């Protein structure tokens, strides 16, 4: 009996561990989007995070707080079926994902973004094994584990991201390198883990698949948004509209990969012990003055340097806590360049504006102040007195 168990038990474990890598059933289709869509956020900020497991109720509740959401359930059944059919034609299924653009430009973009069927099929399997429990089958951020963590896993549909280094407006797409970085280091002090044990090739397949879910979700989102808000800018033929939306989203993704926020100088000493020279401390001092300048605005949101908990609505209709910058935890990366890109480009999806009116030198002053802020001994005595009164 014990011998039998010693054979059967490991086999059971093997079967379990292998579960996640089982292919998807060929007949499985992506389900239609049913969760509420933000049309307009309320003017007054939220008091705190959504209650655990109640994200959709929280978003639907924006209607009662002066905002407005659109409900996909209001769509006539016929339009719903048509949309599902079009999405299936353009993007395939979890077992056989693809991006069908139907023209040469589109095909070139698909190749450049590495969205060919083989890569996507490999990415889809890895996603099932490592990401689905949080980010959900369609990338809606509502996987079985996802409902219970805060901040919620990213809703990858719509192709909106937070930690983006590309140049452009608040809604710009991330570069492939941005997405790859998130998979290597994870997101500090959230449940998003680092995937260090995967190979570079596997992470690249996951990046491709993430872009794919973003494209698919964005086409679905824009069509639902247009139909439910009765926009007259949509083509009457939904298939034509979907193809044109896909083409423009592909162009945005390609553009994002072309230019990153790149400062002309990199004045931060590599070694933190070198950050005590008079010239560096003078930069920290200027940084604090810029931060506390009400015309610049940092301090208005990061009240008391972020120690006071304040919340804003994010682009998905959930709420996000304004960072406590005395803690020294940075979700978008902790190198000086990461922080430069964050401040210069803003975190549009979280409501943090881009600080594009500041000069490069002023932005570096802010980076130097922020890097020193969590460690009172790194601050010049006069600044320490202002930030940590009594210390
Ligand atoms: C245990 C839950 C969990 C798992 C598993 C997980 N994530 Fe995440 N992920 C999160 C959370 C939480 C966030 C959002 C953090 C935030 O808002 O700052 C996130 C954010 C992201 C982002 C957004 C980055 C940005 O700039 O906005 C991407 C991309 C991402 N995850 C991809 C993946 C991929 C690919 C996998 C699988 C290899 C994965 N995640 C597995 C929880 C998870
Ligand atoms: C309108 C409100 C608002 C303003 C103004 C604002 N921030 Fe933020 N900031 C936020 C929010 C919200 C977050 C948290 C984003 C998240 O976690 O999704 C944040 C996060 C940060 C982070 C952490 C980034 C990371 O990777 O985790 C830094 C650094 C930062 N802000 C610096 C600044 C500086 C410097 C200024 C002024 C130039 C500024 N902020 C202005 C709202 C604001």
Q: Is the minimum distance from the CB of 179 to ligand 1 under 6 angstroms?
A: yes
Q: Is the minimum distance from the CB of 84 to ligand 1 under 6 angstroms?
A: no
Q: Inter-axis angle of helices 200-228 and 176-185, to 10 degrees? A: 120
pLDDT bin (cut points 50, 70, 90) of residue 169 is confident
Task: Give Cβ neighbours of residue 135 (< 8 Å, ≥ 6 apart).
Answer: 127, 141, 143, 146, 153, 154, 156, 213
d(Cα 330, Cα 204) in Å, to the nearest integer?
24
Q: Is the minimum distance from the CB of 114 to ligand 2 under 6 angstroms?
A: no
CA-to-CA dists, residue 106 to 204, 254, 346, angstroms: 21, 11, 30
DSSP conformation letters of 352-387:
BPP-TTS-HHHHHHHHHHHHHTT-GGGS-HHHHHHH
- Confirm if 159 and 213 have CB atoms less than 8 A apart: no
Q: Is the minimum distance from the CB of 342 to ligand 2 under 6 angstroms?
A: yes
pLDDT at 276: 87
Q: Which ligand is nearest to the CA of 324?
A: 2
Query: In whole numbers, what is the pLDDT of the chain averaged over residues?
Result: 93
Q: Is the minimum distance from the CB of 332 to ligand 2 under 6 angstroms?
A: yes
pLDDT at 286: 98
User: Per-residue pLDDT tens for 90-141?
Assistant: 999 999 999 999 888 899 999 999 999 999 999 999 999 999 999 999 999 9
Domains 37-256 and 272-387 alike in fold: yes
pLDDT at 4: 41
- SS3 breakdown of the chain: % helix, strand, coil, rounded to 5? 50, 5, 45
Mutate to test the pocket of ligand 2, among 283, 301, 325, 358 (most ligand atoms within 8 A of CB): 301
Task: Count, in order, helices (H) and strands (E) of the chain.
Answer: 14, 4
pLDDT bin (cut points 50, 70, 90) of residue 168 is confident
pLDDT bin (cut points 50, 70, 90) of residue 274 is confident
Task: Give Cβ neighbours of residue 241 (< 8 Å, ≥ 6 apart).
Answer: 223, 226, 234, 235
Distance 322 CA to ligand 2 centre (A): 6
Structure-block tokens of residue 212: 């794919």
What mean pLDDT is predicted for residues 180-197? Answer: 95
Distance 310 CA to ligand 2 centre (A): 11
Q: Is the minimum distance from the CB of 194 to ligand 2 under 6 angstroms?
A: no
pLDDT at 355: 96
Residue 235's CB is within 10 A of a number of other CB atoms, namely: 13
Nearest residue to 123 (alpha-carbon basis) of 46, 212, 57: 212
CA-to-CA dists, residue 172 to 14, 158, 218, 345, 347, angstroms: 43, 11, 13, 10, 10
pLDDT bin (cut points 50, 70, 90) of residue 20 is low
d(Cα 7, Cα 164) in Å, to the nearest integer?
50
pLDDT at 103: 87
User: Per-residue pLDDT tens for 340-372?
Assistant: 999 999 999 999 999 999 999 999 999 999 999
Residue 196 pLDDT exceeds 90: yes
pLDDT at 97: 98
Distance 230 CA to ligand 2 centre (A): 35
In the chain, where the domains are located? 37-256, 272-387
Q: Which ligand is nearest to the CA of 295?
A: 2
Structure-block tokens of residue 321: 């806590």
User: Per-residue pLDDT tens for 245-254?
Assistant: 999 999 999 9
pLDDT bin (cut points 50, 70, 90) of residue 13 is very low
User: Per-residue pLDDT tens for 315-330?
Assistant: 999 999 999 999 999 9
CATH topology of domain 37-256: Cytochrome Bc1 Complex; Chain D, domain 2 (1.10.760)
Nearest residue to 146 (alpha-carbon basis) of 157, 56, 195, 154: 154
Mutate to test the pocket of ligand 1, among 153, 210, 316, 342 (most ligand atoms within 8 A of CB): 153
- Confirm if 346 and 170 have CB atoms less than 8 A apart: yes
What mean pLDDT is predicted for residues 368-378? Answer: 96
pLDDT at 257: 87
pLDDT bin (cut points 50, 70, 90) of residue 51 is very high
What mean pLDDT is predicted for residues 140-149? Answer: 94
Q: Which ligand is nearest to the CA of 356?
A: 2
What mean pLDDT is predicted for residues 63-83? Answer: 97
Nearest CA residue ID for atom 41, ligand 2: 298
Distance 270 CA to ligand 2 centre (A): 23
Nearest CA residue ID for atom 36, ligand 2: 298
Q: Can you name the residues that pair with 311 across neighbouring β-strands?
A: 321
Residue 9 pLDDT exceeds 90: no
Q: Can you name the residues that pair with 313 across neighbouring β-strands?
A: 319
pLDDT at 2: 42
Is the pTM above the cut of 0.85? Answer: yes
Options 3.40.50.1980, 1.10.760.10, 1.20.272.10, 1.10.1040.50; CATH for 272-387 is 1.10.760.10
């Amino acid at each position: 009996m014990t011998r039998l168990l010693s054979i059967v038990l490991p086999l059971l474990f093997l079967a379990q561990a292998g579960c996640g890598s089982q292919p998807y059933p060929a007949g499985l289709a992506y389900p239609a989007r049913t969760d509420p869509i933000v049309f307009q956020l309320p003017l007054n900020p939220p008091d705190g995070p959504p209650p655990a497991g109640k994200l959709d109720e929280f978003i639907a509740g924006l209607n009662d707080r002066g905002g407005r959401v659109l409900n996909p359930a209001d769509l006539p059944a016929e339009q719903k079926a048509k949309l599902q059919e079009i999405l299936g034609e353009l993007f395939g299924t979890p077992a056989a994902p693809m991006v069908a653009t139907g023209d040469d430009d589109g095909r070139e973009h698909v190749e450049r973004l590495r969205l060919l069927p083989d890569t996507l099929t490999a990415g889809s399997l890895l996603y099932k094994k490592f990401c689905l429990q949080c980010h959900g089958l369609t990338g809606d951020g509502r996987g079985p584990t996802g409902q219970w963590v805060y901040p919620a896993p990213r809703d990858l549909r719509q192709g909106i991201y937070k930690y983006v280094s590309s140049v452009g407006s608040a809604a710009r797409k991330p570069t492939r390198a941005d997405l790859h970085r998130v998979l290597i280091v994870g997101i500090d002090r959230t449940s998003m883990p680092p995937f260090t044990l995967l190979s570079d090739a596997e992470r690249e397949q996951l990046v491709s698949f993430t872009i794919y879910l973003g494209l698919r979700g964005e086409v679905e989102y824009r069509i639902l948004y247009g139909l439910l808000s009765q926009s007259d800018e949509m083509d009457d033929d939904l298939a034509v509209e979907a193809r044109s939306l896909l083409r423009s989203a592909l162009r945005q993704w390609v553009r994002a990969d072309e230019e990153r926020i790149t400062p002309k100088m990199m004045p931060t000493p590599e070694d933190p012990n070198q950050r005590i020279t008079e010239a560096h401390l003078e930069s920290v001092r200027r940084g604090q003055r810029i931060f506390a300048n009400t015309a610049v605005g940092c301090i208005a949101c990061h009240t008391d340097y972020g120690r006071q908990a304040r919340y804003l609505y994010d682009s998905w209709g959930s709420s996000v806590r304004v960072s406590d910058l005395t803690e020294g935890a940075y979700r978008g990366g902790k190198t000086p360049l990461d922080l430069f890109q964050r401040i210069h480009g803003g975190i549009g999806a979280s409501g943090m504006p881009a600080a594009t009116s500041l000069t490069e030198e002023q932005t570096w002053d802010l980076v130097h102040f922020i890097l020193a802020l969590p460690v009172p001994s790194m601050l010049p005595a006069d600044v320490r007195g202002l930030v940590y009164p009594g210390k």
